[in-house]
């Protein structure tokens, strides 16, 4: 039986997108031999340009993109795949763009499945969230986004499996940010000012280009909202009570230059928080959903060093899932929650899941 050719249209060739292409090129033979799946990239794009290569990009794709990419609109991409009669389509959103999300529904209507590292579609107003899912059902398409929470960790999948098995999830709590995990893990164990650790996290690329994005708590809030919606809770982003780590005199309203030179203002309040907590306790920045009280919170808490959260190392994420069956003992998922390699691998896992579904559908049609 000939291999199933799967056509991946990739939006975004930054850190995650470019790593994904290279991972596929490296493992292409392996997927052919073990899964009978032939993954191709007939179109790759950045925010303004697209490179069209019907047979799929080869090893020298960066040079080819630089030479031959042209300006594009989504309509050009839809037209191209129809003209070339490309089937088994997966649109992969490896951007952080708000614009591309507006095209998700037109893409579904034109035969595409979607895999997204981009969190935005799942955190917009519930009207859009529900409309997207109505279209998925109507056009019998798949939308996977495991990397929206915890990069390559199987968080969304685990919560989905529990929810669809009828399990009652009572609480979800955890450290959802790799950058803030790193900062507070070091701050708890070392006698170094908060601002020094923050600067080092920025330097090694753990934070967003403007670390106020991380410290605002909005990213943790988005991840918590995604999980809450996975278990049927109709929350909006505005419903989350976010206790930002930014200071009134050092927040989003100040210029980036101002923020850059005044980071030492963080040192005193965080040092006070550190020395006034109970013995053998450490600070952790967590997101928490309490299903019974319908509360979504993002906040700085103090936990025993001996607890699962208290023992976190490096930039790891840790998510605790409390359920009726498991009682007081949570299911714990822990591991690297950031990084281009693990995120790209998580996206690739989602692509292969869609490819397996396409294989089943093709077998049914035959």
Q: 1-30: per-residue pLDDT in tens?
A: 689 999 999 999 999 999 999 999 999 999
| Overall number of domains in the chain | 2
In angstroms and rounded to an integer, the radius of gyration of the C-alpha atoms of the chain is 22
Asked which of 142-146, 161-165, 204-208 is least confident by mean pLDDT, the reply is 204-208
State the average pLDDT for the chain: 94
Catalytic residue among 119, 120, 223, 359: 223
What local confidence, expressed as pLDDT, does residue 233 receive?
A: 95
Which tokens is 222 given? Answer: 């988005």
What would the mean pLDDT of 216-245 be, rounded to a whole number? 97
Which burial class, exposed, middle or buried, applies to 201 when counting CB atoms under 10 A from its CB (0-12, 13-18, 19+)?
Answer: buried
Distance CA 254, CA 242 (A): 19
Spatial CA neighbour of 288 closest among 246, 330, 338, 253: 330
Do residue 356 and residue 327 come from a single domain?
Answer: no
Do residue 125 and residue 237 come from a single domain?
Answer: no
Percent of all residues in the chain with a pLDDT value above 90, rounded to a whole number: 87
Do residue 102 and residue 164 come from a single domain?
Answer: no
Task: Using pLDDT thresholds of 50, 70 and 90, give the confidence band for residue 50.
Answer: very high
What local confidence, expressed as pLDDT, does residue 249 receive?
A: 82
Residues pairing with 175 in the sheet: 318
Do residue 332 and residue 349 come from a single domain?
Answer: no
Asked if residue 363 has pLDDT above 80, the reply is no
Instruction: Write the CATH number for 42.
Output: 3.40.50.720
Distance CA 357, CA 342 (A): 23
Strands 316-323 and 281-290: unpaired
3-state SS class at 117: coil
Do residue 203 and residue 304 come from a single domain?
Answer: yes
343 within 8 A of 193, measured Cβ to Cβ: no
Asked if residue 366 has pLDDT above 70, the reply is no
Do residue 300 and residue 358 come from a single domain?
Answer: no
Q: 272-282: per-residue pLDDT in tens?
A: 999 999 999 99
Strands 169-175 and 241-242: unpaired
Do residue 227 and residue 345 come from a single domain?
Answer: no
Do residue 128 and residue 224 come from a single domain?
Answer: no
In the annotation, is 223 catalytic? yes
Task: Using pLDDT thresholds of 50, 70 and 90, give the confidence band for residue 207.
Answer: confident
Which tokens is 136 given? Answer: 């998925």
Range of the domain at 204: 155-337
Q: Which residue has the tokens 């998922």?
A: 333
Which burial class, exposed, middle or buried, applies to 99 when counting CB atoms under 10 A from its CB (0-12, 13-18, 19+)?
Answer: exposed
Do residue 327 and residue 345 come from a single domain?
Answer: no
- For residue 287, what are the contacts with CB-CB under 8 A and spacing of at least 6? 172, 173, 174, 176, 220, 221, 223, 224, 296, 297, 298
Do residue 16 and residue 164 come from a single domain?
Answer: no
Do residue 130 and residue 184 come from a single domain?
Answer: no
What local confidence, expressed as pLDDT, does residue 340 receive?
A: 87
Model-level pTM? 0.93
What would the mean pLDDT of 263-280 be, rounded to a whole number? 96
Do residue 43 and residue 170 come from a single domain?
Answer: no
- For residue 155, what are the contacts with CB-CB under 8 A and spacing of at least 6? 146, 149, 227, 319, 333
Instruction: Write the CATH number for 296.
Output: 3.30.360.10
Distance CA 351, CA 363 (A): 19
């Amino acid at each position: 039986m000939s291999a199933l050719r799967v056509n991946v249209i990739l939006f975004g060739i930054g850190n995650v997108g470019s790593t994904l292409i290279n991972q596929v090129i490296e493992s292409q033979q392996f997927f052919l031999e073990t899964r009978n799946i032939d993954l191709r990239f007939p179109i790759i794009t950045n925010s303004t340009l697209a490179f069209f290569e019907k047979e799929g990009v080869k090893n020298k794709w960066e040079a080819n993109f630089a030479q031959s990419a042209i300006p594009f609109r989504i309509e050009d991409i839809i037209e191209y795949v129809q003209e070339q009669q490309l089937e088994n389509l997966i649109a992969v959103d490896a951007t952080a763009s708000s614009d591309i999300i507006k095209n998700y529904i037109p893409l579904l209507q034109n035969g595409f499945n979607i895999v997204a590292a981009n969190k935005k579609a799942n955190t917009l107003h519930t009207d859009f969230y529900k409309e997207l899912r109505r279209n998925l059902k109507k056009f019998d398409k798949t939308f996977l986004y495991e990397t929206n929470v915890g990069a390559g960790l199987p968080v969304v999948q685990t919560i989905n499996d529990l929810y669809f098995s009828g399990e009652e999830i009572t609480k979800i709590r955890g450290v959802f940010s790799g950058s803030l995990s790193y900062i507070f893990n070091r701050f708890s164990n070392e006698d170094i000012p908060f601002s020094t650790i923050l600067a080092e996290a920025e330097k090694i690329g753990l934070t967003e280009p403007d670390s106020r994005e991380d410290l605002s708590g909005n990213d943790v809030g988005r991840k918590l909202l995604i999980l809450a919606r996975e278990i049927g809770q109709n929350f909006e982003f505005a419903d989350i009570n976010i206790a930002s780590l930014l200071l009134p005199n050092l927040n989003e309203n100040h210029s980036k230059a101002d923020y850059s030179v005044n980071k030492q203002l963080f040192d005193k309040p965080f040092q006070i928080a550190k020395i006034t907590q109970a013995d053998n306790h450490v600070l952790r920045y967590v997101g928490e959903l309490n299903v019974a009280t319908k509360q979504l919170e993002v906040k700085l808490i103090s936990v025993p060093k001996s607890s699962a959260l208290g023992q976190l190392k490096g930039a790891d994420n840790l998510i605790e899932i409390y359920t009726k069956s498991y009682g007081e003992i949570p299911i714990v998922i822990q591991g690297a929650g950031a990084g281009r390699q693990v995120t790209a691998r998580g996206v690739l896992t989602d692509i292969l899941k869609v490819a397996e579904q396409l294989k089943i559908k093709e077998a049914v049609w035959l």
